[in-house]
Amino acid sequence: MLTIIALLLLFPAFAQKYQFSGKVLEKGTDIPVEFATVVMPDKELWAVANAKGEFVISGVSQGKTKVEISCLGYAPTTFEIEITKDLKGVTYYLAIDDLTLESAVVVAKENTNSATTSRQIDRTALEHMQMVNISDISSLLPGGVSANSGKLTSSTDAFQIRSDETSAISSFGTAVELDGVRLSNNATHGGVSGVSTRNIASANVESIEIITGVPSVEHGDMTNGVVKINTRKGKSPWMITAMTSPNTKQLSLSKGFDLGAKGGVINASAERTTSVHDLASPFTTYQRNAFSLIYSNSFDAFGQPIRFSTGVSGNIGGYDKSADPDSFMETFEKVKENTIRGNFSLNWLLNKSWITNIELTGSVVYSDNLSSLSENKSSSSSTSSLHGMEEGYFVSTPYSSNPDAEVILRPAGYWYEVSYRDDKPLDYNLHLKINWAHDFGGVVNKLKLGAHFTGSGNLGEGFYYEDLSKAPDWRPYPYKDIPFVNNLAAYAEENITIPIGTTSLNLVGGVRSEWTMINNSGYGTVNSLSPRFNARYSIIKYQRSRVLRELSLRGSWGVAVKLPSVSILYPTPSYYGKQVFAPGTMADGTAFYAYYILPRQIEYNPDLRWQKAQQSEIGVEADIAGVKISLAAFYSKTLGSYFTYNEYEPFTYKWTDQRSLEGCLIPSSERLYSIDRETGVVTVKDITGKVPDQTLAYSEKNTFVSKTKVTNEVAPTVRKGIEWVIDFGQISAIRTSIRMDGTLYKYRSTNENIVQSYQSNRTMSDGITPYQFIGHYVGSSSGTSNGSESLKLRNNITFTTHIPKARLIFTLRLEGSLYRHDRNLAEYSGEQTTWPMSGQEKIPSGTEFYDIRGHVIKYPLYYTTFDDPRTPIPFREKYLWAKDNNRQLFSELDAMINKTGYNYLFLKNVFSPYFSANISVTKEIGRIASLSFYANNFFYSTMRFKTSASQTDVSLFESSSYIPKFYYGLTLRLKIQ
Amino acid sequence: MRMKKFVSFLMCSVFLIAAVSCHKDDPYKLYDVKVQLVYSDADPVAGVTVNAVNTNTGMIYVGTTDAQGNATVPAVAGLYEFSATETRAESGTAYSFNGFKQQVAITHDYEKTPFVVTIDMVGSEAKQIIVKELYTGGCQKDDGSGYFQQDKYVILYNNSTVDADLKNLCFAMTIQYNSHATNADVVDGKLTYESEGKVPAGHGYWTWAEGNAPVLKPGEEVVVAINGAINHTLTYSNSVNLSNSNYYAMYDPESGYNQAAAYPTPSEAIPTSHYLKAYKYGTGTGWPISVTGPAFFIFITPDGVTPQSFFEDTSNENYYNNMNAMLRKWVPADWVVDACEVFSAGYVGKNNKRLITSVDGGSVVLTNRQGYSIYRNVNKEATEAIAENKGKLVYSYSMGTSDLEEGSTDPSGIDAEASIKAGARIIYMDTNNSTNDFHQRKEASLRSK
């Protein structure tokens, strides 16, 4: 490898350099297109057209190369040129991007240049589908399902790429970038799930690129694809958009101001979106007021051009339910979601022999999310709130006597609990990328080196109550006390395109190394390595005259690593509380309960590995007599998914109740209770001092306390499938093109980790001794299955009728689920723990439980007792022995057996096919306005489909889990010069 | 001439219209529905009232039997629930016969194709201990924010002339918990275990602490708090004060019923010997007696069986609808001392019985959250027959409720609580049929003590 690099470095000195210059004009009017960007992607060279439309790219080496010219508001154009000498004075024309263009596309376009599966969705397609929430675009991916309801009031809309499961883990791994700014969900404590896209402005998005295959090593901290959102940059007229749909309304305004000669461009945009959750009670309204200001310019430094842009964007939003007249007075729920993002990017075209291009980007994202909730409460007897953070026995104390008491006594009566969650995540990053592009003898070679520094943390107070005297169980846990997590990555990628006769082979190989600095935690600084490799072999370049017009093959392989979220690295401490003293209630409703508190936290696991996804993919792209076919087969294996579980340890406490107080000589109103912090023995004092102190009798209770641990899942999760997109081209007589896309997707996952479970509110057969056994189960302690598999076959057909002269485009999209089956699994590589049962007894009646219609039981693998927690006792053996020999043990062990609730849990559940249809129309009115209308599920389908396991019909009417809900929207766009 | 033609034309059209309309079915037409009461080991008797309740309109149509047990009930077309009840005394023991048949459809074809509605009458004895009052519906909070239901209680009463020893008496309720819930045990309008002589005790049951079972003299009662045995009226003025030292409390946190909101420690005034013991086999930390429509019953284990041994015996276990969380134990109907089947108001026609006919042949309707309780009806004849009651009985009972369509009150008109205060000894109705035996009382009786 090193010798090749050395050789490549020597070659450039001998190559001839030429100049490529020309003019870019608007088609039809010959107006110069200022700010048009002319790019030679293979050489990493670029130039920006000036006010006269002129551009100059110097230092171009000889040979054939691709040129791309693009500008905001115009359709990009790509062509090939051959440089043998200086090429000057050529004029290129750009057509205005509107529906008069024959090439207008309203679906996701495959990125044919990419060696991995990647798609681009441009402005025309985004406007046609009237995207409100960025995550809506997943419907344009092969086999995608249209977005559900157009409501922004659900905060769980996140991306799901190449997965359908409701598991939040798969969306957590998808990276979302907005203008190069990575939106991270690592620093919020809401839990492990993908970043919510609802607070990202949707009206001024210019294009979105989705990489579902193996992405470049430039992208780290993801295991399931990358979504890159690009907002409008460049000179543009006033664009006003108004959108209305049953639940959501949007108004936006944007313009790209030309600051004159060499002044650059400022793009300013503002958007207001309101979304109501329930039309009948419009008080839960999510509001998004987004703004963005981007300044971009290009100038020369040391004779070489620099493209520079800096911007600020943000959002002020949230919702407020306090005005709802149906809520009880003074109760409310308010959520505030404010974000501000600052970013800059610099792209310096040095064009030297040892370096072509330097890119430097940086960003800072700060959010202020404050949610508050006020609830009305009451009780007829006093309640105890646990606030203590240290281990020990504590008795309830009124707040007025000691506000810092570990257990606070809340008297009987009525009160309000007002709570706040102050969440202020802060993310920053700085990214330096160096490109070196050279071609020699037709072989294009691009080397990319980069360094990326990111950090995330939180400045919020966390969850707290306004009035501690009225708060329930609570401990402070300020998010700002958790140290920032910083990450430094370095990567190198080599991209070579080798022409082999009439074919060409593109090879991309890269490696990324990451160091994550986790302060104040046992994890310290951790390193991970992700190699990625892509190859693309273009066998036949496009030739219209042949039947097989184009053919290329591609393959990829890569490893991507996902860092754990803050909730695992810095876990929230949790506290075990057990009532240990229960004196009788006094006449005014007061009872001085005492509790035992034990602080616990997710234990540090020195053997915790980072979750990895191994992905591989092969694909074929072909054009057969005008029919474009794109096929990709992918396989993804996620290893070591993060998994939290409980472990139990024996614990004994002292229980004292009113029985010990019955003979007490001290009258109730003159008593002061105290409890020994270590021993738990209760003493009653006489406040008048007349009667001596009395120590109360107690009984000892043997039980278990749990502690949470985190580990990696032993068994991998496998996702594999095939995606296809077949574009049949246009039937010119009816101006309609037909496109079919679909996916065959298979998912399988089982959990073979051994987990523990304790029946904490159960007794032994004497009705009084706490339960003494811990069950050790495979995968899950509840239910009878420990995994699932599913197979889905989806196919969508889109009919697009495009009449350029009428500036009209109409699409009818039929979404179909052709086959689907789900199945619950119960698998373990050791012995069998799940069995079929018959009758009432929980005894195995055979060995096969799949494919039978009957009830199934799951035994723990083994169990341990309080007296001997180290000795595992094989469960099934003991249970079957106890049936005939020890009926008392038999009834006590019975509690640990799980049983199915219905008799078809392990049957393959096959869904019969179901369909839905959407329509969309966009009509431009002259050059200044355009109107779009869409209706999802416009048949308002009442179709029913069958599920084979439960043998029931499921109705699609008003169901939101299978087909999109019936929904429609109308958008008006005005373009004013 | 023209006038004549016009008039005859008019008369013809009137006849035509009348002829055509005659064929239209009259919704108010009464059909004489034939009913026969069938007794398995007794003779039919005349004068038994047969009720037919129209499940859509709630209207009741009645008929009376002849000596062969046949009755005719004139009713309009609709869907009905037929029921009949009668009490007779034989050799010093009172026997009640109850029967009902649900989902009987009387259509407009009844006259052409008549059929006989047969009702199987099941007999049962009247016992010593009865449920005098069951209060589970809860009341309204003072600030108008909603309802409070953690003040439930039940009162047991000695309805006989001899002392009653409550040893081994257990308090239980069925699964399905709620009367209005879909009930998988009801198939074709009948309970699957109807003829098996057993009732299910769900989730857990309570009994007296070892050696602390009370003994009730005739006319004595015992109050058992199902939730907090404290004075709830300090915070909720519409609630009850359960902190009396004579009351008992279902309080046993060591059994697993330890939910703090449902089980505050009983008042200091109540001795710990009054704490009941629980045997819990369901999941969860509170005994889930329904706040809308429970099926509550009390049973006494026979010689050789104790509440403890009943708990350890796994052969009496069964899962409602095969659901893991719905474990229940079968209690033989012979063990059941008394029961109360409560239906939920607002679900007329949709409530399902959970107790078999021999245990409870009817139902009483509860509108919850208003502070109403289910209170026993006074047996007018038996109470007036007691010589010592002369002059102590208070009539003009005004504690009935009128929220239900027909109203609900004690048909005897005797104000039991006022009469007891005056020194009378009340005998309550016990026909093992909640329709006859209970009414919905405007206020829990403990509020006026």
Residue pLDDT, tens place only, B251-263: 999 999 999 889 9
Span B321-326, average pLDDT: 86
Binary contact (A658, B141; C-beta < 8 A): no
* C-alpha–C-alpha distance, residues B151 and B374, integer Å: 14
* C-alpha–C-alpha distance, residues A27 and A103, integer Å: 15
User: Contacts of residue A413 in chain B, CB cutoff 8 Å?
Assistant: 235
**Mutation site, A326, A330, A375, A381, interface B, largest B CB count within 10 A:** A381
- Look at chain A and count its residues: 977
Span B321-339, average pLDDT: 91
pLDDT of residue A191: 45
User: Contacts of residue B144 in chain A, CB cutoff 8 Å?
Assistant: 328
The DSSP 8-state label assigned to residue B48 in this structure reads -
* Least reliable range by pLDDT among A930-939, B95-104, B282-291: B95-104
Q: Give the angle subtended at the CA of A144 by the CAs of A138 and A150, to the nearest 5°.
A: 55
Parallel, antiparallel, or unpaired: how do β-strands A109-110 and A181-183 relate?
Answer: unpaired
* C-alpha–C-alpha distance, residues A486 and A516, integer Å: 6
* Least reliable range by pLDDT among A113-122, B330-339, B401-410: A113-122
* C-alpha–C-alpha distance, residues A276 and A323, integer Å: 14
A669: contact with B, CB 8 A cutoff: no
CA dist list (Å): A372 to A329, A331, A422 = 15, 10, 9
- Beta-bridged to residue A712, according to DSSP, are A642
Is the separation of the CB atoms in A836 and A899 below 8 Å?
no
Binary contact (B280, A659; C-beta < 8 A): no
B308: contact with A, CB 8 A cutoff: yes
Parallel, antiparallel, or unpaired: how do β-strands A226-231 and A175-178 relate?
Answer: parallel
Which of B354, B340, B344 is CA-nearest to residue B291?
A: B344
- Beta-bridged to residue A575, according to DSSP, are A599
pLDDT of residue B154: 97
Distance of CA B30 to the CA centre of its chain: 30
A residues 683-702 closer than 8 Å to B (CB): 701
A376: contact with B, CB 8 A cutoff: yes
A900: contact with B, CB 8 A cutoff: yes
Residue of A328, A379, A767 lying closest to B311 (CB–CB): A767
Indicate the helix (H) or strand (E) that contains A862.
strand A862-865
Buried b (16+ CB within 10 A) or exposed e, A844-858: beeeebeebebbbbb
Give how far A665 is from chain B: nearest CA, Å: 14
Q: Give the angle subtended at the CA of A373 by the CAs of A369 and A376, to the nearest 5°.
A: 175
Type of residue found at B141: K
Is the separation of the CB atoms in A328 and A377 below 8 Å?
no
CA dist list (Å): A209 to A120, A287, A926 = 4, 26, 29
Type of residue found at A530: S
**Mutation site, B212, B268, B326, interface A, largest A CB count within 10 A:** B268
* C-alpha–C-alpha distance, residues A160 and A135, integer Å: 8
Look at B115 and A202; give whichever has higher pLDDT. Answer: B115
CA dist list (Å): A608 to A852, A870, B8 = 39, 24, 103
pLDDT of residue A304: 85
Q: Which residue of B has its CA nearest to A782?
A: B324
User: Contacts of residue A412 in chain B, CB cutoff 8 Å?
Assistant: 234-235
- Beta-bridged to residue B122, according to DSSP, are B98
Percent above pLDDT 70 for chain B: 96
CA dist list (Å): A484 to A281, A462, A516, A570, B49 = 41, 15, 11, 10, 82
B150: left (phi over 0), alpha (psi -120 to 50) or beta: alpha
pLDDT of residue B19: 55
Indicate the helix (H) or strand (E) that contains A951.
none
Segments in chain A below pLDDT 70:
1-15, 113, 148-160, 163-173, 184-196, 199, 221-223, 566
**Mutation site, A377, A701, A761, A899, interface B, largest B CB count within 10 A:** A761
* C-alpha–C-alpha distance, residues A903 and B127, integer Å: 42
Instruction: Take residue A76 and report the two structure tokens written for it.
Output: 């990009």
B267: contact with A, CB 8 A cutoff: yes
Residue-wise pLDDT tens digits, B209-254: 999 999 999 999 999 999 999 999 999 999 999 999 999 999 999 9
Residue of B234, B253, B318 lying closest to A589 (CB–CB): B234
Rg (CA), chain A: 33
Phi and psi of A954, rounded to 5°?
Answer: -115, 135
- Look at chain B and count its residues: 449
A6: left (phi over 0), alpha (psi -120 to 50) or beta: alpha
Residue-wise pLDDT tens digits, A256-310: 898 877 788 999 999 998 888 888 877 778 888 999 999 998 888 888 889 889 9
A residues 447-506 closer than 8 Å to B (CB): none
Binary contact (A767, B319; C-beta < 8 A): no
Is the separation of the CB atoms in A116 and A213 below 8 Å?
yes
Q: Which residue of B has its CA nearest to A385?
A: B260
Binary contact (A768, B254; C-beta < 8 A): yes
* C-alpha–C-alpha distance, residues A768 and A598, integer Å: 23
pLDDT of residue A168: 43
* C-alpha–C-alpha distance, residues B73 and A541, integer Å: 91
* Least reliable range by pLDDT among A496-510, B54-68, B84-98: B84-98
B324: contact with A, CB 8 A cutoff: yes
Contact pairs from chain A to chain B, CB under 8 Å: 137
A761: contact with B, CB 8 A cutoff: yes
Type of residue found at A483: P
* C-alpha–C-alpha distance, residues A523 and A526, integer Å: 7
Residue of B243, B265, B269 lying closest to A583 (CB–CB): B265
Residue of A589, A668, A763 lying closest to B235 (CB–CB): A589
Binary contact (B278, A887; C-beta < 8 A): no
Binary contact (B256, A763; C-beta < 8 A): yes
* Least reliable range by pLDDT among A358-367, A693-702, B51-60, B193-202: B51-60
B residues 180-199 closer than 8 Å to A (CB): none
Percent above pLDDT 70 for chain A: 93
Which of A857, A742, A837 is CA-nearest to residue A792?
A: A742
Q: Which residue of B has its CA nearest to A414?
A: B235
Helices (H) and strands (E) in chain A — how many of each?
Answer: 7, 58
A545: contact with B, CB 8 A cutoff: no
User: Contacts of residue A890 in chain B, CB cutoff 8 Å?
Assistant: 314
B280: contact with A, CB 8 A cutoff: yes
DSSP percent split of chain B into helix, strand, coil, nearest 5:
15, 35, 50
B residues 216-235 closer than 8 Å to A (CB): 228, 230-232, 234-235
Q: Which residue of B has its CA nearest to A375?
A: B145
Q: Which residue of B has its CA nearest to A903?
A: B322
Residue of B234, B270, B308 lying closest to A380 (CB–CB): B234
**Mutation site, B143, B170, B235, interface A, largest A CB count within 10 A:** B235
Residue of B142, B150, B268 lying closest to A586 (CB–CB): B268
Residue of A382, A661, A840 lying closest to B318 (CB–CB): A840
Instruction: Take residue B320 and report the two structure tokens written for it.
Output: 């409602």
Binary contact (B272, A376; C-beta < 8 A): no
B207: contact with A, CB 8 A cutoff: no
Is the separation of the CB atoms in A235 and A265 below 8 Å?
yes
CA dist list (Å): B165 to A568, B158, B213 = 60, 10, 7
Which of B435, B441, B359, B426 is CA-nearest to residue B393?
A: B426
A380: contact with B, CB 8 A cutoff: yes
Binary contact (B141, A902; C-beta < 8 A): no
ipTM of the complex: 0.82
Q: Give the angle subtended at the CA of A916 by the CAs of A910 and A917, to the nearest 5°.
A: 155
Q: How many CB atoms lie within 10 A of CB A330?
A: 12
A444: left (phi over 0), alpha (psi -120 to 50) or beta: beta
Q: How many CB atoms lie within 10 A of CB B40?
A: 9
* C-alpha–C-alpha distance, residues B94 and A42, integer Å: 103
* C-alpha–C-alpha distance, residues A927 and A677, integer Å: 80
Residue of A585, A855, A894 lying closest to B267 (CB–CB): A585
Q: Determine the 3-state secondary structure of A913 from DSSP.
A: coil
Which of A742, A508, A741, A724 is CA-nearest to residue A632?
A: A724
Is the separation of the CB atoms in B341 and B295 below 8 Å?
yes
The strand ranges marked E within A248-356 are 248-258, 265-276, 285-301, 304-320, 332-349
Is the separation of the CB atoms in A852 and A908 below 8 Å?
no
